[in-house]
Structure 1
């Protein structure tokens, strides 16, 4: 059969995710859907997947997608006639330490707020569910009765058949050899058939579902898809007499998972230090496996024989080593490539492809069909990846760690160990010399906290108070009572300039940018539903130039949003992040410190809150922005990279007399929590309405035309369905991180979007959306609230205003 020459979409790759995307697009009524698989369906990774299907993920929307997968696979067999092997056999995760028990109990609490059935169970109850388990050392477990397992290859074949039944063309033996582009759009692909034929297809969209080959396929289109293959090991025993269907068992403290299948036991491993394979996957790789490495797997097996004594007498039927792809942050890649406007990604599934593929395929299909995300997908949106993360050496080093992180303790503030030190701010060495303990975000090395003299500058992780708790408290109190300084250079800086700069920003942003030079505007970029795509400050530098400052993690996504909405506006958009270092000087004594090093006037009369001015500082030049993310009097000092070291030394030396304290990112987070400042990606996302987020003040509703205006006006007329509120525990001891359930008058109504300890106010604090349709604010606040922390309910005060300095008098002092 000759392939068509013009289609609506070409999907590259016939693993489970490619089949899912084809299935869901066809179900949405898309015609001319073509899936091209270089060999046979499932022949890359899907065929040898373990087929574990869990519902609970780390966030609400990832859980929503996993739950959808499970429901879909339960119905596919009836729809297509292809047996998927799907069984709801349940799953058990057991803990062997108190720290792991805290983690899984917190996960169980989170599950309840996401509508997932999860039951904490004792070691004895674990034994009742899983009779073969040796429970020596087991501290507890969590049972999810609706989790399951399935046949990975048949699930993919069922999706492919469903796609065909709805009109899609699924073709095996067609290798995509090139992808064609014009400007920011792909125009089609070139293919080579197994019989040597070649041809091309024009396409309105191309979807990269290439799995391990996803990186290479991306390179054909000059698109960055950071992932790397790793060796993944499991064994399958001979048949074990009397073995019946068991729940899926995970023992993360021993890096192991167990699955009963047809009277045999499968034991798989996510070892702490994994074996990267290659970035250049052979194009002829098909239903292949990698050489055995029993020495590498042996420690896992030794522990497993102790944990499941039946294995000691069971013969090994199969010792399998197959490659799977892993991304730098252990989250898969989904969505529209930042570099192009019609090239989509669904790849890099980090050994959870079977449980993810149904939901991911559905979400991507909806996004393609509607032209906007169906809900927040920030956890997996490909635009979170930085350009350097496609570097071969980086991917090789990072992949040694990411496989094992699936089963590592997921402690709060856990930092990656591999592939570090790539991006350093101009102050990096100065901060390290003074005790900085670095964390990493988007590749940036950032001072998270400062060790005291004689204290080892490293993290000691726990779910309780970690070793830096008191250090951050001192940094926090320095900013609240005196003066602190911290490095903000990693925050994204995007210059928007040109004759239409003002008009363009007034269209793309909710605020009013028709302001004098030197004025700083805090606002959001909204989508058509008035969801928040970006949370930014914008400083007018001249009549034709503005500086947009964004969170470090979303710089690329925010720049991409600007480019995609540029239209016919005559503007130039430039990333200038690395060009300037930024030091934040914050606290009641901030003005006093700056007056010691600069002749500039920092009074309210000349430099009120929300304005910037060019200044001399030491022997150099800088720009002082009077804004704050910690809720105190303060300035962000922007200085060109060549003068950054001098300005740091000038401020640090002048600060000695004032007892200036160097501070880190953890302090910034604890202070912003007390002040009720939102954190993008947690408290505000693309599916959170700007009005319900309490940020209506940052949107100028009377502007004639801006993205999201109709949705803002509609919400103003109809009223809020949700309110983002602040919570403060009445007990000073427990800690909050995020996703803890919120109980209103004894019933779970929501969960915390973020949490941190309020060192000045003396208790853990959090934010979360509470349903309020048809209710007055006073009635919402009059209720009794509790937060569920690992199964324990803790009373909480609630407020719609910041608990700290609600009138912002300190900020404007």
Structure 2
């Protein structure tokens, strides 16, 4: 056994082996995989091996699509036999919203480049004559879907990795992982120890146990899942061609042919539970199954039999019942863990056979090159906070996610369990006002305010919230609005070197005067956008840094990892210490003046400046004259416990001015009217500042900042794409993001998201298009729900392009 390696991967399932293979393909060959049993001996060996491409997420689609392209070629590439069945797939829609879902995903398929079509019930029988189509409105027919033998593809990638120089140690038990003072990691095994630069937790069902050794929280739950295989059926033998894999939301099951028999895998919508009573599996648990529980599956099996009647005629051959890992949002974990550098997660995959190859490819890119070619934010393990994503939360929500595996979640719709983990001190007041909350990074944040008691009728189209949000947005434009935005991530950067440190890591110039505020971006070494921060200088050695709610651990790490040992700087996360109120609108100054003695005149308190003040008798309120809605206004950063006093005073002072509460839906509408970019949508690691049309926030004349030289090179090379601000001739829906953009029959780009602008009467969106289509006035079409809508590049910001209202 080697004593040193560049990378040690813990776990020999398809996720670990897929990463090993792709790291070797990227040129890293001083790499080791350690497995306590045999390869695939955990959850991989008993997986059904389905490889679908239908998914709402473009980035996840690209991961799935890569697997369906690689697996048929693996035998040729590695010399190891692979049993690939390219039989296609049928995703059924039984409601209007499921049909909308199919139509939206069709647009995603155009961007990902896989072959598919939406077909009616009569056409389904051309591909699957044995399927009962009662209640079916349409099906999403994917030509290149299939299924594969899990052991085959895993062993093939292992063989490929070995040929490239990687090493695999089977029957080797890892017993501990330690972070060394050198910054390296020590992987302790029963066969010896390995010191490495990078360690990867790909331990499958054991990932949470392995993570705990080094203090890492791994939010996974081992769910019990069954599938059944029948004896061969004569009708299938006589039919000949293999039937496509069917996914049926009515029976909540996948249904397919398996060696001339029928395979049914139900995702029960009730009674599902974790394995082993939530305890970790025994260390000697290997290539074993869990006792089946067929009695409680009968309601879904009976429905499956109605959908695929041949199932009722066949004799049962085998029952597979084993553990599959789930995360609370159904996405696997892949990326750096919070804390010391170079501990990577690569686990939690519930459909890992499909994802194993693509997941390995893109994490390998991230590790080797500092970023992947796709946006990895939705897989980043830090999307779950270490403190609030507890074991109880993980199991509760993972079970709910399992129950809803085939449920059509509409935009904005979320799980109803695992809620109220993090609330601001105003939560009960806002709830009493009709707040409809959504969860973000554990926080409850008001999405909109319902005065009817009806709640939101979630839909892919404009819904019952549309007019209520109009009232909220217009209150901000015409009078004054108040919003609780306590979900900001908040940090203090202090010390004699604080200014120099921030100047070195930010593309923009950091304020040199007390009270100055800037929008700053952290770029990676390749010049792409990693983080977006709002930085306020409170004093020469004290800066207040804000970022997105979901970036709390991500952005702390970005700052901590960039800090040099020689720099006298401390970075403190104070997110929970401060609540935030956004007061905005033409009457904002009148309202705030009634609550503070601080001079709020334009001469004394200019736009993009901040002061510490007393408001409503509460001292230490950080008043920042900045907001995300494009109106005269302030953010009031209050001690969390004191925020209700400030809120009550503002509401009372605002009553004569028609003050109204507003939520995130109105904020999104308002920010789109001002063409404000969003981190994670318009601003990602896929693009640079010039492509994002953010030139005014990058100061290449600065002596040095991380990503400067790469940014200059990229600018000289020319833009691959360009962000444009567009108006769409929409009807009953607005841009959700990831809709294809066409010029004639040529695909020229994609949207990143949008909203209806109530004050401007325009359906607005951002899109990345080829640079030759970026000029103001250029017209093209956006594909929305399989219909093309005309769109045009706007010459300027739709609302207050000269910022007169902000500066008032």
After TM superposition, the score normalised by the length of structure 2 is 0.96
The counterpart of 1:225, out of the listed 218, 224, 229, is: 218
Describe the SS at the equivalent of 2:216: coil
CA contact (8 A) 1:727 1:766 kept: yes
The counterpart of 2:141, out of the listed 118, 140, 143, is: 143
TM-superposed deviation, 1:782? 4.1
Q: Provide the residue aligned with 2:478 in structure 1.
A: 481
CA contact (8 A) 1:757 1:763 kept: yes
Q: Provide the residue aligned with 1:362 in structure 2.
A: 361
Q: Provide the residue aligned with 2:567 in structure 1.
A: 569
CA shift digits 1:666-699 (9 cap, x unpaired): 1111111121111111111011111111111111
Describe the SS at the equivalent of 1:388: coil
Q: Provide the residue aligned with 2:468 in structure 1.
A: 471
Does residue 263 of structure 2 align to residue 270 of structure 1? no
Does residue 520 of structure 2 align to residue 527 of structure 1? no
CA shift digits 1:294-345 (9 cap, x unpaired): 2331121111111111111112212222111111221111112221212211
Q: Provide the residue aligned with 2:443 in structure 1.
A: 444
Does residue 127 of structure 2 align to residue 134 of structure 1? no
Write the distance in 1 (CA, Å) between the matches of 2:487 and 2:734.
28
Describe the SS at the equivalent of 2:583: strand
CA shift digits 1:444-496 (9 cap, x unpaired): 011111111x423x332222222222211111111111111001111100111
CA shift digits 1:369-409 (9 cap, x unpaired): 23444442111112222112442111121111122333111
Q: Provide the residue aligned with 1:579 in structure 2.
A: 577
TM-superposed deviation, 1:6? 2.2
Of 518-527 and 251-260, more deviation after overlay is shown by 251-260
Describe the SS at the equivalent of 1:415: coil
Write the distance in 2 (CA, Å) between the matches of 1:204 and 1:714.
29
Does residue 791 of structure 2 align to residue 810 of structure 1? no
Q: Provide the residue aligned with 2:12 in structure 1.
A: 14
Is the alpha carbon distance of 1:134 and 1:324 closer, same or farther for their aligned partners in structure 2, counting shifts above 3 Å? same
Does residue 215 of structure 2 align to residue 239 of structure 1? no
Does residue 607 of structure 2 align to residue 609 of structure 1? yes
CA shift digits 1:602-645 (9 cap, x unpaired): 11111111001122211112121011101111110011123111
TM-superposed deviation, 1:764? 2.8
CA contact (8 A) 1:237 1:317 kept: yes
TM-superposed deviation, 1:732? 4.2
CA contact (8 A) 2:435 2:447 kept: yes
Aligned-residue RMSD, C-alpha: 1.7
Q: Provide the residue aligned with 2:71 in structure 1.
A: 73
Q: Provide the residue aligned with 1:195 in structure 2.
A: none
Is the alpha carbon distance of 1:470 and 1:782 closer, same or farther for their aligned partners in structure 2, counting shifts above 3 Å? closer
Write the distance in 2 (CA, Å) between the matches of 1:412 and 1:254.
23
TM-superposed deviation, 1:518? 0.5
CA contact (8 A) 1:229 1:279 kept: no
CA contact (8 A) 2:507 2:522 kept: yes
CA contact (8 A) 1:502 1:513 kept: yes
Write the distance in 1 (CA, Å) between the matches of 2:606 and 2:49.
60
TM-superposed deviation, 1:56? 4.2
Q: Provide the residue aligned with 1:258 in structure 2.
A: 255
Describe the SS at the equivalent of 1:47: coil
Q: Provide the residue aligned with 2:497 in structure 1.
A: 500
Write the distance in 2 (CA, Å) between the matches of 1:750 and 1:87.
33
CA contact (8 A) 1:389 1:395 kept: no
Write the distance in 1 (CA, Å) between the matches of 2:732 and 2:62.
32
How many residues are paired up?
A: 799
Is the alpha carbon distance of 1:733 and 1:402 closer, same or farther for their aligned partners in structure 2, counting shifts above 3 Å? closer
Write the distance in 2 (CA, Å) between the matches of 1:367 and 1:324.
26
Is the alpha carbon distance of 1:279 and 1:471 closer, same or farther for their aligned partners in structure 2, counting shifts above 3 Å? farther
TM-superposed deviation, 1:64? 2.3
TM-superposed deviation, 1:183? 4.6
CA contact (8 A) 1:732 1:762 kept: no
Q: Provide the residue aligned with 1:791 in structure 2.
A: 786
CA shift digits 1:356-375 (9 cap, x unpaired): 11111122222222344444
After TM superposition, the score normalised by the length of structure 1 is 0.95
Of 573-582 and 161-170, more deviation after overlay is shown by 161-170
What does 1:9-88 align with in structure 2 at a 5 Å threshold? 9-88=7-86
Write the distance in 2 (CA, Å) between the matches of 1:608 and 1:40.
66
Does residue 716 of structure 2 align to residue 722 of structure 1? no
TM-superposed deviation, 1:271? 2.8
CA contact (8 A) 2:777 2:795 kept: no
CA contact (8 A) 1:328 1:389 kept: no
Describe the SS at the equivalent of 1:761: coil
Of 116-125 and 267-276, more deviation after overlay is shown by 267-276
Q: Provide the residue aligned with 1:311 in structure 2.
A: 311
CA contact (8 A) 2:336 2:381 kept: yes
Q: Provide the residue aligned with 2:111 in structure 1.
A: 113
Structure 1 stretches of 5 or more lacking a match? Answer: 193-197
